[in-house]
Chains A and B, each alone.
Chain A
Amino acid sequence: MILWLTLAFPLAAAIFLLAFRRPGTASTFALTLGAAQVLLLAACAWQIHSEGVLQQGQYLRADNLTLLFLANLTIIFAVVLVYSVGYLRHVPSGRFSSPRWFYALLFLFVFTMLAAYLSANLGVLWIAIEATTLASALLVGFYNTKGAIEAGWKYLIVCTVGIAFALFGTIALYLAAVRGGVPQAQALDWTALMAAAPGMGAAHDLLKLAFVFIAVGYGTKIGFVPMHSWLPDAHAEAPAPISAMLSAVLLNCAMYALLRFDAITSHAIGTTFSHTLLIAFGCLSLVVAVFLMIVQRDLKRLLAYSSIEHMGIVALGVGIGGPLGLFGALLHSFNHSLAKTLLFFTTGKVRDTFDTLRMDRIHGMARVLPYTSSVLIAGGVAIVGLPPFGLFVSEFSILMAAFGGSHYIIATFMLIAFSIGFGALLFHFQRMLGGEPQLPRSRVKLLPTEIVGMCTCGACLLFLGVHIPGVLISVLNSAVAVLQ
């Protein structure tokens, strides 16, 4: 029951926001509905945690892996919603349409991602992920400027083509399942496929073909190089809260889909093929992203490439495999969303103050915006993987898994990439923060909503870096067990 409720609520909220047209009330409604949604999600998470697996009908299912990603979605959604309320009041004039549409589309976006997380059926998963592209395209192009429209169009086209390839992969998997003896009605059900997977080993050519298409298809949504061309544009041109949602939640959603498929493929034909492919994509994304980070000129594009880098790390974690690698990968996706959200929140303030996001035109930020700069530094330290923040723990886990599995070359690559990424970020941030300011100090005040948002993220990151709560560890371990 609770699964249906959790899923249907954001859709109802979106319709309600669009139907009820009183001016000036959009933010209040959105906040109330958002609070209700967060409560629902928390209740749902609690139930999953106590029962282990929730199944509702043929198409809705939630297990511990879902729980982890649901927790991720809840925290980020709550923070982003609070931030947007303040952000939307300060958007430069002449830029955009209406807050009502913003919140409605945001709820619709959350609905599609929830549908992806709660689906028991690979076909429904595909439909939901395609729907996330559709729901977020209008959000990416929200500002209606030339850059935003171009980014939105590119996003729509590239991701739809990618998802079409993922459909082909899903069909190939379905075909392999049917030929392996699974009855047609159940051949797309994840649990049935996991159970029948060892028996599907005969059709290994077809399974390999299916996985390649899935990796390419959902990899487009995750942002693997070379299918990443939409990512920097979309994340740079979207409004700051939406960039945070895209980087923090959408990439994780697509990674979730890939994880489900990887589990089936590994159980059927062993981990060699799928993990080699994931390691290849991971290394490629990591290396290309860090090198491109050096030459970026726009702050949000820099952060977008950093997202690609971290998704590459997650893929490497999954590819290296074993319980430790998976643990590290899942923890890393969780931590990365917190850190990236924090960083994107600061960009809103930066753009407000300096009217540009071009890093070579921003100087002396440390004196003009002291609080935002400290948050930026904290976020920068977090994102490059330094202690005491959470990303250090997850990257360390993945490195330990790499050394443990004798993947020395991969570990070396990772370390070199981390250093280059660190150098790039240091270079860009130092250029922005230091130097002579051209503006008087603190012209724009920090809004309470922003403070709440940034502090929550920062606190979570710090906490996770110092001591991972037992609850989280048990959830992570059970999630890993789900996939093993």
Chain B
Amino acid sequence: MSTTIDVLQFLIIVGIAPLIRGVISRVKARIQNRRGASIFRPYADLWKLFHKEDLIPSTASPFFRVCPMILFAATIAGAALVPVLHASSLLGNRGDIILLAYLFALGRFFLVLGSQDGGSAFGGMGAGREALVSTLAEAPLLFGLIAVAVTAHTTSIAGIVGWTAARHPLELSSVHAFAFAALVLVTIAETGRVPVDNPTTHLELTMIHEAMVLEYSGPSLALIEWASATKLSLMFALIISLFAPWGIVTGGSVLGIAIALAAYLPKIGLLVVFVAALESSMAKLRMYLVPEFLGIASALSVLAVVFTVFKR
């Protein structure tokens, strides 16, 4: 029964990823007084891309087609590490927060490699920028996760979720407050949302993530798009389960699963609305200010780690 729930979790994270993207676009449109496209549009986009032809630049190596696959594989492997409905996950016993961070790094590495293989100038530019952003985002991500792990005395994500779920919801702790703030900032940076990167821009010189995938088409592009959507869904799920996991089921009953799902959806909804509101109210930062943005995230995450020393 537990494995079924694990598989269900995994399918939820990967499956509703495009839906999350669609809802964010819809909410943004509503905030900006437009009607916006249907929330299922990303699914239609994926279906369309999978049925198109995969065009490869003549200067690219066979490596070019392999990279999106490795990116997708690494991202969904990360998705298999994060609990949603109960305090365990598909790969839970074989990995923890360190593995998660490294899976992100693996996927990103191959994406960057592939984009440079494409041979276009924008690919190289996007690759350089992505490398900068992700290098600076690595520290707050790891420190934030480590701070939470130290307070829970375990590095396994499922273990942390179990520990947090056992505490009273109103008992805020400074460590969690700072780690939460740091991880939200890291999510924005890693998944390429405003103010770090504008996912809907058409100006190549302002792109970071989009510039890397300019040369991709067809199923490769579909895999990359789905992987980036899954990363957003995965970071949301991580934040929710690390900081507000109450409602998760402890037994294996169907009713419990339903309750857990019912508890999960509003939390995701809240994060979605937050991201949409943030994107509508801020302008994208110029590239030289992005390190400062991530510097703030680093300071917060270091504070979180430092506070673990002073609070029991």
Do A and B touch each other in the complex, judged by CB within 8 A?
no
- Chain A positions within 8 Å of B, measured between CB atoms, are none
- Chain B positions within 8 Å of A, measured between CB atoms, are none
